[in-house]
Structure 1
Amino acid sequence: LPNPGDYTTLELAGQPIMVIRDREGQLRAQSNVCLHRMSTLLEGSGNTRAIVCPYHAWTYNLDGRLRGAPAMTLNEAFCKDGQALPQVRCEEWLGWVMVTLNPDAPPVSETLAGVADLVGDYQMENYQQTFFETHRWDTNWKVLAENFMESYHLPVCHAGTIGGLSKLEEMVCPPGEEAFNYHWILKEPDFVLGNAHPTNTRLSGERRRTTFLLAIYPSLLITLTPGYFWYLSLHPHGVGQVEIRFGGGMAPEFVNDPEAQSHFNALKALLDDVNVEDRGCTEKVYNGLCSDMATPGHLSHLERPNYDFAQYLNARVNGG
């Protein structure tokens, strides 16, 4: 959203929200609900000079202040001055726009400082998103989150795609931090997109083929490689369904490569196939855990992030 008037819309915990760049260049998150008869205002993503309600044309400046309301002059109780869309906290972080309905949440730059220390040299903020989709799977959101948090399943669940591109002995799962967990894997040198582009001068040594899997609590999951990134933002729909906001793109060196389109086509085809495999595995797990006879087993050392996630959930459930 680099330009004034650029916007996108979303629902966060059932609340319609818009994120928009105002005339002064400030990125804002604000209610996407008209102050008149409560219609939603903007849809999808795009660019606009003003926010106009599609119901009665009440019009707002990009900063949310009410600018005009047709045929309201005979209502002596009405005054548009001082009326504005409720503002919602948002923060730009490593190229992401983080939005929260909690006014007391600490700044993302503080809670996720460890992520910046971990992958700052990748310069994720310069990666370019090339696709975004939404899907709905028949599984519990925590099952999908846990699936992302470990690469122990790659050789089996992803035998048809990426299973042969990483070795179990080259996966590292350190203890997580309060707001996130992570692990990293080394990609085989012949996986072009999983390695740094030849013109990438930011990374050296094994960093040029290291993939980080970042699980930002509770439900933002980011895979960051030297060549591309993809993410899942999870939004539960009851116990047994989850909406997945799925996006990704490429590092600037691959975006600027003469073969950029073929790189993108290869990446998207790969990720689509990986998602089909993950969907099958996670829906099987959800079906299994609903069984009266289901009992969890011991974890591998490669599932350390799952343990950390369980500790996080336990603390939240118990008020920690």
Structure 2
Amino acid sequence: MRENCERPFEDARAMPPGVYTSEAFLTLEQRDLFEHEWLCVGRASALAQSGDYLTARIGDQPVAVLRDTDGALRALSNVCLHRMSVLLEGQGNVHRIVCPYHAWNYTLDGKLAGAPLMDRQPGFCKEHYALPAVRCETWQGWIYVTLNEHAPPVSAHLAELSALIEPYGMTDYVETFHEEHVWDTNWKILAENFMESYHLPMLHRATVGPHSKLDEMECPPGHRAFNYHWITKEATLPIGNAHPANQRLQGHWRRTTALLAIYPTHLVTLTPGYFWYLILQPMGVGKVHIRFGGGLAPEFIDDPKATDYMATLKTLLDEVNAEDRRGVEAVFRVVHAPLAKPGRLSPLERPNYDFARYLASRLGAM
């Protein structure tokens, strides 16, 4: 893989099969990527009320992100301090974090509030117990977490991307749905599929493919923390272009879509009228957990037809996702084949080349 990454883009190949199938490679990813990088876990607006929470993993570490009683976002270890049971599952709202195993329970800031019968144990002091905190910051309305105490703030980490997409005002986009899925593929196969639009005319021929013109796509070189590409077009859906009330976007920006791959696992399609995203979490080499969501720009939320726009968007994205699932699961089924070899990348797969170079630069042993 490293040898391939040293080639100039004009001579670049796809990543070798072992990158997707090797358990040892996944172990390196968990150690050198997931336990050190900023990882997105969802939209801050999904945790609007005190006690709202969502759960995720940073490598092998379960994490709960919640809105505390003061309205601040916190990330905590999602492991009980008694016998190490997982505390919270999925997403929801709680007044107190209660362990489902022995009912040790914690306040929303992680302090131990109660431990049944432990007052009978000499020397036990609940004030000495608090769930370890995890770094948690927001960027453009997204929640990011990391175990890396030395990582720069996420706003600095993604400052170059903030400058590129500033006209959209993504912070104010409103999430209208989110779901969780598990697909039978390697997480990088799905990430690469999202990063490039070369596949749109064929894989998505029943949905967005006929409206996707390859010669309208621009794929600039990627940056250290992300890659991106642009599509400037007249959208077939009203929400694909800027709303008439949108005063932020001018000129070509009113019809330009940005496709963002924020390393390692946050993938966003940002249009003038809507956004949708995937957040990936490997569950082994052949399974990936997906947090899938989307929503509308504020002008479309305020439009009298907002409900119709939401329904139209969800229907389209469900169909596109089903097509992508068939494609990426088909790749994983045969990437093990003895005669499978990586081919040359097209001009529109520059993001895949940059992603491979990112991986090669982060993984300490390959």
Task: Give the count of matched residue pairs.
Answer: 320
Which is bigger in relative contact order (C-alpha 8 A, separation at least 6)? 2
Distance of aligned partners of 1:210 and 1:102 in 2 relative to their CA distance in 1, 3 Å threshold:
same
Report the secondary structure of 1:313's partner residue. Answer: helix
1:14 equivalenced with 2:60 (yes/no): yes
5 Å-filtered alignment, 1:1-320, equals 1-318=47-364
In the TM superposition, what is the alpha-carbon distance from 1:302 to its structure 2 partner?
Answer: 0.9
Sequence identity of aligned pairs in percent? 61
Structure 1 counterpart of 2:14 = none
Within 2, Cα distance between the matches of 1:141 and 1:63? 33
Which TM-score applies when normalising by structure 1? 0.94
Which TM-score applies when normalising by structure 2? 0.83
**Deviant stretches of 4+, over 6 Å:** none
In the TM superposition, what is the alpha-carbon distance from 1:253 to its structure 2 partner?
Answer: 1.4
Within 2, Cα distance between the matches of 1:315 and 1:77? 49
In the TM superposition, what is the alpha-carbon distance from 1:119 to its structure 2 partner?
Answer: 0.9
* Alpha-carbon contact 1:187-1:194 (below 8 Å) kept: no
Within 2, Cα distance between the matches of 1:68 and 1:113? 43
**1:58-107 residue CA offsets vs partner (Å, 9 max, x unmatched):** 23221111122232222112001131001111111110000112223222
Within 2, Cα distance between the matches of 1:309 and 1:128? 29
Report the secondary structure of 1:181's partner residue. Answer: strand
Within 1, Cα distance between the matches of 2:119 and 2:334? 63
In the TM superposition, what is the alpha-carbon distance from 1:243 to its structure 2 partner?
Answer: 1.6
**1:209-264 residue CA offsets vs partner (Å, 9 max, x unmatched):** 11111101111111111111111111112222222211111111112211111111
* Alpha-carbon contact 1:132-1:246 (below 8 Å) kept: yes
Within 2, Cα distance between the matches of 1:8 and 1:317? 29
Name the aligned partner's letter for residue 215 of structure 1: A
Name the aligned partner's letter for residue 123 of structure 1: G
* Alpha-carbon contact 1:166-1:188 (below 8 Å) kept: no
Stretch moving more, 161-170 or 282-291 = 282-291
Within 1, Cα distance between the matches of 2:89 and 2:184? 26
Name the aligned partner's letter for residue 179 of structure 1: A
CA RMSD of aligned residues (A): 1.8
Within 2, Cα distance between the matches of 1:37 and 1:315? 38
Gaps of 5+ in 1: none
Report the secondary structure of 2:337's partner residue. Answer: coil
Stretch moving more, 181-190 or 206-215 = 181-190
Within 1, Cα distance between the matches of 2:189 and 2:55? 27
Gaps of 5+ in 2: 1-46
Distance of aligned partners of 1:319 and 1:104 in 2 relative to their CA distance in 1, 3 Å threshold:
farther
In the TM superposition, what is the alpha-carbon distance from 1:182 to its structure 2 partner?
Answer: 0.4
In the TM superposition, what is the alpha-carbon distance from 1:319 to its structure 2 partner?
Answer: 5.8
Within 2, Cα distance between the matches of 1:277 and 1:290? 22
Report the secondary structure of 1:235's partner residue. Answer: strand
Within 2, Cα distance between the matches of 1:319 and 1:117? 34
